[in-house]
Structure 1
Amino acid sequence: MNRIVLRILAWLLVTAVAIFTLSPIELRPMTGAPADFERLAAFALVGGMFCLAYPRHRIAIVLFLIGVAGLLEVMQHIVPGRHGRSHDFAVKAVAVVTGSILTILIERITTRTSSEPVASQDVS
């Protein structure tokens, strides 16, 4: 996929997460899954998408996204009915790292697999 498209998708995704994080709780989409799983999935996806979009800046991206997670938790204190918690921040930070690592591993495996020569079969 084109890097420009990946970058647009990454920024749209982090923007959506920020909007849902800072909107009143009744406007937040509910999947029925535990809140920690929703946080984990969202931030793992954000981390993975940013690592695909900015492959030369992965460490900086992970640090930036951990900072975004912390900032969103702090900003929740100004939204009525919302509250930032250190536990939520920890889940989000771990998710960013996990999503980034998984994306890098999958990328390396698929790149290695697609670049390996196909073994010729002897049909004698």
Structure 2
Amino acid sequence: MNQAVGRETWLGRCLGRIARALDRHAEALRVAAALLGLVLAAIVVFSTLSPLALRPMLTSDADVERFLAFAGVAGCFVFAAPKRWLLILGLAVVLGAGLEAAQNLRPDRHGLWHDLDWKAAGACFGTALALASHALLRRLARPERRD
């Protein structure tokens, strides 16, 4: 039993060191996350509004692609600015709704409520994942108190 506690302590110390190193470079990570979010958002807009022949396909299930795309976009922006998570989540859902509406303006595309559901679910998941990782990193970065 003592060895298990020792391993947990060792693992906790390693994770704490990693989190403190990430904390030292927090501003650079936030900028990188925001830039990645912008790139992903541009890819999502292009993929949604381009002709079907130009749309990149990563999986055979378009719903999975919608979910992952919006999870990535929302997750990156929330990781960059976690205090503004509600605004970012709302903007991600509005982006999804706007893209679905814009698809109806193209003769070869169609916007559906079903697609918006997957995009909104992905944005919620990405937001939750980014908030959880941010909270975990903050907790791990705190120096251990020894009583």
- With the length of structure 2 as denominator, give the TM-score of the two structures: 0.74
Whole-Å separation in 2 of the counterparts to 1:109 and 1:29: 34
SS at match of 1:78: coil
Equivalences for residues 44-59 of structure 1 within 5 A: 44-59=71-86
Q: Which protein is richer in helix relative to its size?
A: 2
Equivalences for residues 55-74 of structure 1 within 5 A: 55-74=82-101
Whole-Å separation in 2 of the counterparts to 1:102 and 1:33: 25
The gaps in structure 2 that reach 5 residues or longer are 1-25
Whole-Å separation in 1 of the counterparts to 2:57 and 2:31: 30
Whole-Å separation in 1 of the counterparts to 2:111 and 2:60: 19
The gaps in structure 1 that reach 5 residues or longer are 120-124
State the number of aligned residues: 119
- With the length of structure 1 as denominator, give the TM-score of the two structures: 0.87
Match among 91, 95, 99 for residue 118 of structure 2: 91
User: Residues 3-61 of structure 1, C-alpha deviation per residue, up to 9 Å, x if partnerless?
Assistant: 33322221121111001110011111112331111111111011100101222311111
Residue of structure 2 equivalent to 1:109: 136
Whole-Å separation in 2 of the counterparts to 1:116 and 1:77: 54
Give the aligned residue type for 2:82. P
